[in-house]
């Protein structure tokens, strides 16, 4: 282990040294959230939107005729989410759904989801506001239909241009006895109620996130994610960063406190323009930590750095959101960002 790596490991381990910074950032974030005001002009953008709770309809159906009726009433859900084409007939799908409904464990899970998400108004309002913001910046945006459902841990989110389906069972509290199977804990921690809308908005950002496919470097990957997170923050200005990137408040504070050392690791190891996908994955792929920097550093630090670079690029060049998302040249964004680690 080289001396710089050891130094960074010590810094990440030495949490007490960041207590004041973490407290300051936490208080600042809370103060910002308390003072945050959504733009009334943007919220006035007319949109047609509501959420339909399909788990209530499907999981209370007790006869094949009821299931058949629902499959006909929601053809988009039947085709895109239930994937009726995988069955020999729609009747076979209906029979499979009725069998699931009659499973005692699925009915137990349904009751748990129904209780946990009995009040969905805050999420519905947050999503409505997000759609208004997206349509304000991108007038061509078409507000999709939004359904909730009980997936049996089969699908967390389905997002297309016309349809969004939220698998509510994935978003039960992490302390709940029902948890997604085979999902690493560091990822499962991000599957809670407060992450639903940021996950949706980040996914939608990919429609507008233009890229130059010839730029297949780590830097290009960092900038891609940086634009996605920046988009999400603009659309959800009152949402804490932790729900956008999936870091804890402590991890965010420690990352800022070590930003200069993190950046020096990328520069001294000539990482920005590497094209090896395995090397890129070490810094942007899902992982519990970025071991190359420190076992105690949070994973996906390349994405976090990319977010900082993109923030600086838009601020220093006074760009509109649509202009930022349309810029394909990651190297140009980096060069013109004026990015420097915060001291």
Among 10-19, 65-74, 134-143, 153-162, the minimum mean pLDDT is found in 10-19
* Tens-digit pLDDT profile for residues 144-154: 999 999 999 99
**Selected residue with higher pLDDT from 12 and 187:** 187
How confident is the model at residue 181, as a pLDDT? 86
* Tens-digit pLDDT profile for residues 271-314: 999 999 999 999 999 999 999 999 999 999 999 999 999 999 99
Tell me, yes or no, if the pTM score tops 0.85.
Answer: yes
How confident is the model at residue 342, as a pLDDT? 82
* Tens-digit pLDDT profile for residues 13-61: 444 344 445 444 544 454 444 578 999 999 999 999 999 999 999 999 9
**Angstrom distance (rounded) from CA 343 to CA 334:** 19
How confident is the model at residue 208, as a pLDDT? 98
Query: Residue 148 pairs with which residues in a beta bridge?
Result: 53, 166
Region 63-67: what's the mean pLDDT?
96
Q: For the chain, what percent of residues have pLDDT higher than 70?
A: 90
Mean pLDDT (the chain, rounded): 91
Dihedral pair phi/psi, residue 48, rounded to 5°: -105, 110
Domain range list for the chain: 40-189, 218-337
SS3 sequence of the chain: CCHHHHHHHHHHHCHHHHHHHHHHHHHHHHHHHHHCCCCHHHHCCCCCCCEEEHHHHHCCCCCHHHHHHHHHHCHHHHHHHCCHHHCCCHHHHHHHHHHHHCCHHHHHHHHHHHHHCCCCHHHHHHHHHHHHHHHHHCCCCCCCEEEEECCCCCCCEEECCCEEEEEHHHHCCCCCCCCCCCCCHHHHCCCCHHHHHHHHHHHHHCCCCCCCCCCCCHHHHHHHHHHHHHHHHHHCCCCCCHHHHCCCHHHHHHHHHCHHHHHHHHHHCCCCCCCCHHHHHHHHCCCCECCCCCCCCECCHHHHHHHHHHHHHHHHHCCCHHHHHHCCCHHHHHHHHCCCCCC
Q: Is the pLDDT of residue 163 over 60?
A: yes
How confident is the model at residue 182, as a pLDDT? 82
* Tens-digit pLDDT profile for residues 264-281: 999 999 999 999 999 999
């Amino acid at each position: 282990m080289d001396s710089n790596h050891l130094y960074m490991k010590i810094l990440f381990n030495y949490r007490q040294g960041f207590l004041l910074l973490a407290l300051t950032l936490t208080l600042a974030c809370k103060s910002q959230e308390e003072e945050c005001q959504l733009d009334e002009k943007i919220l006035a953008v007319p949109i047609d939107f509501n959420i339909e709770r399909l788990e209530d309809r499907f999981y209370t159906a007790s006869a094949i005729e009821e299931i058949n009726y629902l499959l006909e009433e929601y053809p988009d859900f039947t085709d895109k989410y239930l994937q009726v084409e995988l069955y020999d007939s729609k009747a076979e799908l209906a029979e499979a759904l009725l069998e699931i409904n009659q499973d005692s464990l699925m009915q137990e899970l349904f009751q748990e989801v129904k209780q946990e998400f009995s009040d969905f108004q805050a999420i519905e309002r947050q999503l409505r506001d997000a759609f208004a913001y997206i349509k304000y910046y991108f007038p061509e945006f078409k507000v999709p239909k939004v359904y909730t459902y009980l997936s049996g841990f089969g699908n967390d989110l389905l997002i297309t241009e016309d349809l969004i389906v939220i698998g509510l069972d994935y978003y039960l509290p992490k302390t709940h006895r029902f948890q997604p199977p085979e999902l690493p804990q560091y990822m499962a921690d991000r599957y809670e109620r407060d992450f639903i809308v940021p996950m949706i908005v980040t996914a939608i950002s990919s429609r507008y996130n233009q890229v130059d496919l010839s730029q297949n470097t780590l830097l290009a990957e960092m900038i891609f994610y940086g634009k996605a997170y920046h988009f999400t923050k603009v659309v959800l200005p009152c949402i804490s960063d932790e729900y956008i990137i999936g870091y804890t408040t402590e991890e965010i504070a420690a990352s800022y406190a070590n930003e200069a050392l993190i950046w020096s690791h990328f520069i001294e190891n000539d990482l920005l323009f590497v094209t090896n996908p395995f090397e890129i994955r070490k810094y942007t792929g899902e992982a519990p930590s970025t071991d190359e920097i420190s076992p105690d550093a949070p994973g996906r630090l390349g994405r976090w750095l990319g977010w900082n670079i993109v923030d600086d690029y838009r601020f220093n060049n006074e760009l509109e959101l649509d202009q930022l998302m349309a810029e394909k040249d990651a190297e140009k964004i980096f060069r013109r960002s004026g990015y420097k680690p915060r001291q």
